[in-house]
Amino acid sequence: MKNLLSFFIICFTSALSYAQVHKTNNTTGTITNVTGPGAHIDRTFSFSAGELSSTSLTEVELSLHLIIGNGTPPTTGPYGIHEDLNVRLISPSGTFVDLVQDRWGYNTGDPTQLSTFHLFNPVNATVNFDDDNPTNIETLDYWQAGNYAPHNALSAFDGENAAGTWTLRISDGNSQFSPQDYFHFVTATLTITSGPSNNPPAIFIDNSNLAYTEGETAKQIDNSATVSDADGDADWNGGSIVAQITANAEAADELSIGDADGDGTEITISGTNIYSNGVDIGNLSASGGIVTNGTALTITFDSDATNANIQEVLQSIRYRNTSTNPGTSNRTVTITAADANAASANDTRTITIAKIPEVTSVAVPSNATYITGQNLDFTINFNENITVNTAGGTPQLNITIGATTRQATYQSGSGTSALLFRYTVQAGELDTDGITVGSLAANGGTLRNNSGNDAVLTLNSVGSTTAVLVDAVAPIVTSVNVPANATYIAGQNLDFTINTSENVTVNTTGGTPQLSITIGATTRQATYQSGSGSSALLFRYTVQAGELDT
């Protein structure tokens, strides 16, 4: 029994190295009729990672030398030396490829199926298996020397980790076993091609959440992000960085490139060209380097790209949302770095979105004329719930009544999106053409959303107040018209007209207004008769019998 032999050859292609390693096993072995159907012999080939340019397999070839048949003619029955041969190659990971699958077997007992060339003379031949060979082993009538493609393609191993132990299994199949069945393993050489050797870029982005608040300018995804390729700057020529919002993107979401950190490397954009300190280092998938709504922003680099300026590009990628009402679902930004050989790596960052609370509308008092003691109520509606803190002062809404500014003060609604402000009309106030709504002021208090952001106090969509009037000025008596000069007797009327500064409405539901008069030494009451709605009210007293005033 001979020792296992091995050798390897390293080939170089372009700047990348491929390793072609040959391992030979010449430990002989035999399967005969004694061992019976299904018997097999295994031969192994071990490859270490150090022998390979990389552990990623790119091609497998096998050269196999077998002697089939022992030259002894059959002695009984319709049997011949019809070896139902199986050859299987098994990778370190357990993947297997059948190079020969149950070929040249005898399984029907039909002597017409006997291959006469197989009956007496052994076949001593070496077969080279390679996917690139045009003739498949399955087309042969018997084992014969030559170059052939295997029953199943060896490319099934591509991309696997080639390091480890490979197993070549040669077995007698499940066909009827001939007494003269005979397989002798002489030697086999397994050739593994691996590589090219290429390291993917390494990219690292801060994994903490990035907080973005509505209305902010474009914000760097990570101003300390790092990216590099251990294979050197040349590996970026044809490589790329792709930035994309991969979760919860909205139409107003925007990714862009902007470098303003003043660190000595300036990244600038002109159309679809990207520059580092004025040197063109690549092209952009979007003019101006701006994409929206989840579209990928791809930067493809040229020969002037380096680890250093590509890292600067990475740090220049920014996010913003241009909506005044952005959705608050977290955004995920994925940035993928790929070298010229398509080796890639990616990292992500989560962006939290906080709205700025804003006034969406102001509901004003109903159209009416408000008098002393009545309330002017205003409801200020926000785009989200607002917490009001009055510890430092009570928020106020400025309104103008006539020419005077008054303050409607906060009443209720904290924790909701509708806050109630109220002003109670004071005596003497008058506005005949409609009050006006001014500005909202925190007045030492705070109005904040659940994220702790102060509300924008600008008022929007304020209801019309042209018919919200105030009249808290009491009408005054300007004059009283008395009865004509005369002597009035029993049954005659004493009529008094009270003239007021404005029209007066008289309500007698609770009692009738009276004007006190004195006849002689006795006080009498002239009662209201008419004039409601005007500025002249009639009061009357009818002279009673026995009354005298001289």
Query: What string of DSSP letters covers 168-226?
Result: EEEEE-SSPPPTT-EEEEEEEEEEEEE----PPPEEE---SPEEEETTPPPEES-TT-E
Residues 6+ apart with CB under 8 A from 92: 160, 161, 162, 163, 164, 165, 166
- Residue 491 tokens, joined: 């049954």
Produce one character per residue of 465-497: b if its CB has 16 or more CB atoms within 10 Å, e if not: beebbbbbeeeeeeeeeebeeeebeeeeebebe
Distance, in Å, from the CA atom of 472 to the CA atom of 476, rounded to the nearest integer, reads 13
Residues 183, 307 within the same domain:
no
Residues 64, 189 within the same domain:
yes
Given phi > 0 = left and psi -120 to 50 = alpha, else beta, which region is 511? left
Residues 375, 411 within the same domain:
yes
CATH number at residue 52: 2.60.120.260
* Own/partner pairs, 512-517, CB within 8 angstroms, 24+ separation: 513/537, 513/539, 514/539, 515/539, 515/541, 517/541
Residues 6+ apart with CB under 8 A from 520: 547, 548, 549
196: cis peptide before it, omega within 30°? yes
Distance, in Å, from the CA atom of 433 to the CA atom of 425, rounded to the nearest integer, reads 16
∠ CA(178), CA(183), CA(187), 5° rounding?
175
Residues 162, 50 within the same domain:
yes
Residues 187, 224 within the same domain:
no
Residues 6+ apart with CB under 8 A from 372: 425, 426, 427, 428, 429, 472
- Residue 480 tokens, joined: 């009283």
Per-residue pLDDT tens over the stretch 38-64: 678 999 999 887 777 666 678 899 888
CATH number at residue 371: 2.60.40
Residue 550 lies inside a defined structural domain of this protein: no
Residues 446, 311 within the same domain:
no
CA 272, chain centre distance (Å):
25
Final residue belonging to a domain, choices 471, 495, 517: 471
- Residue 465 tokens, joined: 């107040």
Per the CB < 8 A criterion, the answer to whether 203 and 225 are in contact is yes
Residues 115, 237 within the same domain:
no
Side chain identity at 444, as an amino acid letter?
A: G
Final residue belonging to a domain, choices 162, 194, 226: 194
Residue 336 lies inside a defined structural domain of this protein: yes
List 10's β-bridge partners, or say none.
19
Residue 548 lies inside a defined structural domain of this protein: no
Q: Which residue has the tokens 């006190």?
A: 516
Distance, in Å, from the CA atom of 216 to the CA atom of 319, rounded to the nearest integer, reads 10
Residue 371 lies inside a defined structural domain of this protein: yes
pLDDT string in tens for the chain (550-residue length): 333 333 333 343 334 456 788 999 999 988 776 455 567 899 999 988 777 766 667 889 988 888 776 655 554 433 334 456 789 999 999 999 999 887 765 444 444 444 433 444 567 889 999 999 999 998 887 788 999 999 999 999 888 888 899 999 988 765 544 555 667 889 989 998 876 667 889 999 999 999 999 989 999 999 999 999 998 999 999 999 999 999 999 999 999 999 877 778 899 999 999 999 999 999 999 999 999 999 999 999 999 999 999 999 999 999 999 998 899 999 999 999 999 988 899 999 999 998 899 999 999 999 999 999 999 999 999 999 999 999 999 999 999 999 999 999 999 999 999 999 999 999 999 999 999 999 999 999 999 998 888 999 999 999 999 999 999 999 999 999 999 999 999 999 999 999 999 999 999 999 999 999 999 999 999 999 999 999 999 999 999 999 999 9
Residues 379, 346 within the same domain:
no
Residue 547 lies inside a defined structural domain of this protein: no
Side chain identity at 9, as an amino acid letter?
A: I
Side chain identity at 121, as an amino acid letter?
A: N
Given phi > 0 = left and psi -120 to 50 = alpha, else beta, which region is 393? left
Look at residues 448, 306, 454, 313 and name the one whose alpha carbon lies nearest to residue 386: 448
Q: What is the pLDDT of residue 121?
A: 58
Q: What is the pLDDT of residue 75?
A: 47
Dihedrals φ, ψ of 174, to 5°? -100, 10
Side chain identity at 185, as an amino acid letter?
A: F
Q: What is the pLDDT of residue 76?
A: 44
Residues 6+ apart with CB under 8 A from 115: 80, 82, 104, 141, 142
Residue 82 lies inside a defined structural domain of this protein: yes
Residues 180, 299 within the same domain:
no
State which residues form the domain around 340: 202-354
Side chain identity at 346, as an amino acid letter?
A: N
Residues 318, 236 within the same domain:
yes
Q: What is the pLDDT of residue 86?
A: 86
Count the domains in the chain: 4
Percent of residues in the chain assigned helix, strand, coil, to nearest 5 = 5, 50, 45
Q: What is the pTM of this model?
A: 0.54
Residues 533, 436 within the same domain:
no
Per the CB < 8 A criterion, the answer to whether 23 and 6 are in contact is yes
Residues 325, 365 within the same domain:
no
Final residue belonging to a domain, choices 320, 354, 388: 354
Dihedrals φ, ψ of 149, to 5°? -80, 145
